[in-house]
Each structure stands twice: as C-alpha cells, then as structure tokens.
Amino acid sequence: MIPRLFVTVDLKPGAVFAAEERAAHYLKNVMRRSVGDPVILFNGRDGEYTAEIAGVSKRAVEIRVDDLRRAQSFVPDVWLCFAPLKKDAVDFLVEKATELGVSAFQPVFTQHTTATRLNHERLEANAIEAAEQTERLTLPEIRAAVSLQDLLQGWDPGRHLILCAEAGPALPIGEALSRLKSDVRQTNAWAILCGPEGGFARSELDLLSKLPFVTPVGLGPRILRADTAALAALAVFQSILGDGAQRPPAPLLPIGQRPE
C-alpha cells in the first residue's frame, strides 16, 4: 500500500520538502516507511503527484516530489448544510460526506438542534483523513457554524439549496434534481440542507420553501436519521447533478491495493 497524504506545500516535479509533523509521524512511526519508499501527495491545488521519501532523521521526514499522476480537475461545488449532531454522528457524517465529494460543510443551528458546540479542528482532521483515503484531489472547507436565520440572510441566491423536507410539499429527490438539471438557468453552485434529529420546525420549513433558491425534496416514506438523510441526498445529487459518471483514477498498484 502506498500512503496518500494531504500537504500544504506547492507540488512540482523535483521539489523537496520536510513533511509536516502529522505526515512525518504517520510515515515514520505508523507506516514505518524509510528512504526510497513511494508516497502519493495532493494539496488541493496542483493535482496529485507521486513522490518518494528522500530522507528520514530523528525529527523529520524529507519528501521529493516526482511526477504528476492526475491533474487538478473540476469538482462539483456542493455544500452540506447540517444541524450539529452528537459527536459520533458528526464524525461519521464528516467522514462519509467527504468520501461522497462534498465541497464544504456548513453547520447550521436550527430551532430543534440540541447539540450546542462543534469542534472545528476535529472536523478538519476527520475531513483530511477521509480525503486522503478516498482519492479526492481537494479538501472540503469547514465553515463556521451559523444560525439558520443568519445563513439565509447571507445566502448567495446563485447557490441553489436542496432542502431535505420530512414534511410539507416536496418532489421526490430524483425527480426534483432531474428537473433542476434540465432547467436552463441551472447554476453550478449547490447546497443540501438537512435538519436535526428533532426535525425542522414547521415555521422553518414554511419559510425555506418560499425562498426562490430553495427546492424541497423528499427521500421516501421512511423518516431517516439526519446523517442518513444527508448522505442519501448527497449520493443522489452526485449521480444526477455531480460527478457520478466519472471513474476512479487508474491505480498505481493492482486493483484492490489503493493508496492507504
């Protein structure tokens, strides 16, 4: 298995740099790699590169960048707006939604949200780890939490909001997104909004449903848990409006041995 790492340095052939502490620790102590071992790198800007460990000392790991493996490509701009959940559920959601290609996480406090705090750094660390393992070329942005009211006040109407509505009028998600796809005014900026475990307040659903940039959608007859609903909506989004038609990059190693 070849370790795949997110780094912040610029990537170009021949560049040599000292790995950041987290990456150095992972390569040296967790993966027990040494000089000459291959690594795959991405930084969210320059595409993905093959690289090699050029030096290992007590405190540092030096990496030399080799060749471009994949150019930076278009990624769908889809935010996930979610009401903060219990810690484990948020960790799960961030990991899985990163795998499904979300471009940003926007925590939103709604009337029935019970969680009161979110650990931004923890979300970021989970997102980095999931991005490394999933062959993404970008990291999702973790945005600061806001109230639903403030979110809507500052909303760019060019970003279309897909509202997971457990009650009230809504088209089935597949039909709603297919309609949006054939809409000539179609935008490239999207967001999915899911409520908390307690659901949306009726007044919130009414308010949201009236906004011109909102499309309420239904996810079937079952009431899903908030994390399930968000992931289901994201999967359908990628398949209809996102990058669901693309294939993973050709593996450097035989299939089944993707980078760690």
User: Which residues of this protein are in contact with ligand SAH, per CB under 6 A?
Assistant: 164-166, 194-195, 197-200, 218-220, 222-224, 226, 229
What is the closest distance, in whole angstroms, from the C-beta atom of residue 171 to ligand SAH in the complex? 11
The residue (of 19 and 93) whose beta carbon lies closer to ligand SAH is 93
The residue (of 56 and 230) whose beta carbon lies closer to ligand SAH is 230
**Residue 194 token pair:** 């899911």
What is the closest distance, in whole angstroms, from the C-beta atom of residue 218 to ligand SAH in the complex? 4
What is the closest distance, in whole angstroms, from the C-beta atom of residue 117 to ligand SAH in the complex? 20
The residue (of 3 and 218) whose beta carbon lies closer to ligand SAH is 218
Residue nearest to ligand SAH as judged by C-beta position = 195
Quote the strand ranges of 93-186, DSSP E: 104-109, 141-142, 146-147, 159-164, 171-172
Residue indicated by tokens 């760019």: 156
The Cβ-side half-sphere exposure at 140, using a 13 Å CA radius, reads 33
- Name the region of 75 (left: φ>0; alpha: ψ -120 to 50; beta: rest): beta
What is the closest distance, in whole angstroms, from the C-beta atom of residue 226 to ligand SAH in the complex? 4
What is the closest distance, in whole angstroms, from the C-beta atom of residue 56 to ligand SAH in the complex? 48
What is the closest distance, in whole angstroms, from the C-beta atom of residue 34 to ligand SAH in the complex? 48
Class of residue 157 by CB neighbours under 10 A (exposed 0-12, middle 13-18, buried 19+): exposed
List the one residue out of 192, 257, 194 whose CA is nearest residue 223.
Answer: 194
Phi then psi dihedrals of residue 43, to 5 deg: -130, 10
The residue (of 187 and 228) whose beta carbon lies closer to ligand SAH is 228
**Residue 246 token pair:** 């693309």
Distance CA 241, CA 78 (A): 10
* Sheet containing 16-18, strands listed edge to edge, beginning at the edge strand earlier in sequence: 4-6, 38-42, 48-56, 61-70, 16-18
The residue (of 196 and 259) whose beta carbon lies closer to ligand SAH is 196
Q: What CA dihedral angle connects 192, 198, 200 and 202, to 10 degrees?
A: 160
The residue (of 20 and 197) whose beta carbon lies closer to ligand SAH is 197
The residue (of 63 and 241) whose beta carbon lies closer to ligand SAH is 241
What is the closest distance, in whole angstroms, from the C-beta atom of residue 93 to ligand SAH in the complex? 11
